[in-house]
Amino acid sequence: MRLPERSVLVLTSLAGGDRHGYALIKDIESFSGVALSPGTLYGALAKLEADGYVQRLPADDRRYPYRLTSKGRAVLAERLAESARIANLGLERIALGGT
Amino acid sequence: MSRRLTRAILRLYPRRVRQRHGPEIMALIDDLIAHDGRSRAGLLIHLAVDGLGQRIASTATVWTMVAVLAATSVGGLAVSDFADASAHQDVSHTVRTLAPARHTRQTPHHQPRWRRSLRRARMIARGSASSRSNRHGDPVRCECRAASEPLATAAAVGQPQPRRGTRILLPRSMQLSVGAAAKSA
């Protein structure tokens, strides 16, 4: 199944290192401009964890850091490669001046 | 008060999310208020909207699964009935294609239809009965007298309970499905 956009954002953020909820929101906002709400973030994390793409680490106070698994890394790489291919194709067509 | 309200809003979320991530969501809301100066009211409104969305999505998923299962079951039954009806029709046609058995005293009518059909086919193959025409008046050729393979095959199939779906290798006009005939009987 194709990953939703918000899941791609979460996985991309975790590809840079382990993060808990607040750090994820700030990181995603910094590189994409998207401000995820707490409910949206944890809805995505719950799904990603159930699919085995992320792993919850032991709690630090009330905050649980999350880590990208090898399966999640592979899925993210595949999804980003597909996005890059589409983006390149679109840019080429724009450069050719197609209508 | 606000914590109780937050807990109440969290009840909108699917249980899986609420139980696993409820305390984390509350901690995150506290962080966003403390570090970013976000308004609690706005965060709670967003929280409620997200919770409703996720609840509807998870409920819709369950109902979609129920609908797919129901449709599959009904479709399977319909196909099964159709196949059953088709098999019955095929056997009826085959039996009609064979010469009428009313002149043959040896045909015991208490036997199942598939056994009577098989018996009739054997008699035709031996030459003790003929298959001149079907009920539409079309000539029906029977080559069993000359060919040994159909005879042997018919004999092999003439077991007390032939396996379902076994086909007797007679000429096309006389083929019959023993399994379907047994079922219709």
Three-state SS string over chain A comes to CCCCHHHHHHHHHHCCCCECHHHHHHHHHHHHCCCCCHHHHHHHHHHHHHHCCEEECCCECCECCEEECHHHHHHHHHHHHHHHHHHHHHHHHHHHCCC
Is A12:B20 a contact under the CB 8 Å cutoff? no
When pLDDT is cut at 50, 70 and 90, the band that residue B167 belongs to is low
When pLDDT is cut at 50, 70 and 90, the band that residue B166 belongs to is low
Tokens of A21: 């909820």
Residue pointed to by tokens 């797919």: B68
Whether the predicted pLDDT of B176 surpasses 90:
no
Q: Average the pLDDT over B160-184 and give the result.
A: 51
Are A37 and B46 an interchain contact pair (Cβ–Cβ within 8 Å)? yes
Are A42 and B25 an interchain contact pair (Cβ–Cβ within 8 Å)? yes
A22, A42, A61 member nearest B32 (Cβ): A22
- Residue to substitute from A42, A45, A49, A56, interface B, most B β-carbons within 10 A: A42
Q: What is the pLDDT of residue B70?
A: 81
Please state, in angstroms and rounded to a whole number, the distance separating the CA atoms of residues A54 and A18. Answer: 10
Q: What is the pLDDT of residue B128?
A: 61
Q: What residue of B is the nearest CA neighbor of A22?
A: B28
The verdict on ipTM greater than 0.90 is: no
Whether the predicted pLDDT of B182 surpasses 50:
no
Q: Average the pLDDT over B142-167 and give the result.
A: 48
Give the range with max mean pLDDT: A85-94, B88-97, B171-180. A85-94
Looking at the complex, does the CB of residue B51 fall below 8 Å from at least one CB of chain A? Answer: yes
Residue pointed to by tokens 């019959």: B176
The chain-wide mean pLDDT, for chain B, equals 68
Are B21 and A40 an interchain contact pair (Cβ–Cβ within 8 Å)? no
Looking at the complex, does the CB of residue A22 fall below 8 Å from at least one CB of chain B? Answer: yes
Is B185:B113 a contact under the CB 8 Å cutoff? yes
pTM for the complete prediction?
A: 0.54
Whether the predicted pLDDT of B150 surpasses 90:
no
* B9-51 pLDDT tens trace: 989 888 888 888 888 898 899 889 988 888 888 889 988 998 8
A25, A37, A63 member nearest B50 (Cβ): A37
Q: How far is B34 from chain A (nearest CA, A)?
A: 11
Q: What is the pLDDT of residue B129?
A: 56
Q: Tell me the CA distances in angstroms from B179 to B155, B164, B165, B173, one per residue in order.
A: 16, 4, 4, 18
Query: Which range (B77-81, B123-127, B136-140) has the least confidence?
Result: B136-140
Is B122:B142 a contact under the CB 8 Å cutoff? no
Q: What is the pLDDT of residue B72?
A: 79
Q: What is the pLDDT of residue B67?
A: 78
* A85-99 pLDDT tens trace: 999 999 999 998 865
Please state, in angstroms and rounded to a whole number, the distance separating the CA atoms of residues B104 and B92. Answer: 19
Please state, in angstroms and rounded to a whole number, the distance separating the CA atoms of residues B120 and B112. Answer: 12
Whether the predicted pLDDT of B141 surpasses 50:
no
Looking at the complex, does the CB of residue A37 fall below 8 Å from at least one CB of chain B? Answer: yes
Looking at the complex, does the CB of residue B24 fall below 8 Å from at least one CB of chain A? Answer: yes
When pLDDT is cut at 50, 70 and 90, the band that residue A2 belongs to is confident
Looking at the complex, does the CB of residue B44 fall below 8 Å from at least one CB of chain A? Answer: no
Q: How far is B23 from chain A (nearest CA, A)?
A: 7
Q: What is the pLDDT of residue B15?
A: 85
* A4-50 pLDDT tens trace: 999 999 999 999 999 999 999 999 999 999 999 999 999 999 999 99
- Residue to substitute from B9, B15, B28, interface A, most A β-carbons within 10 A: B28
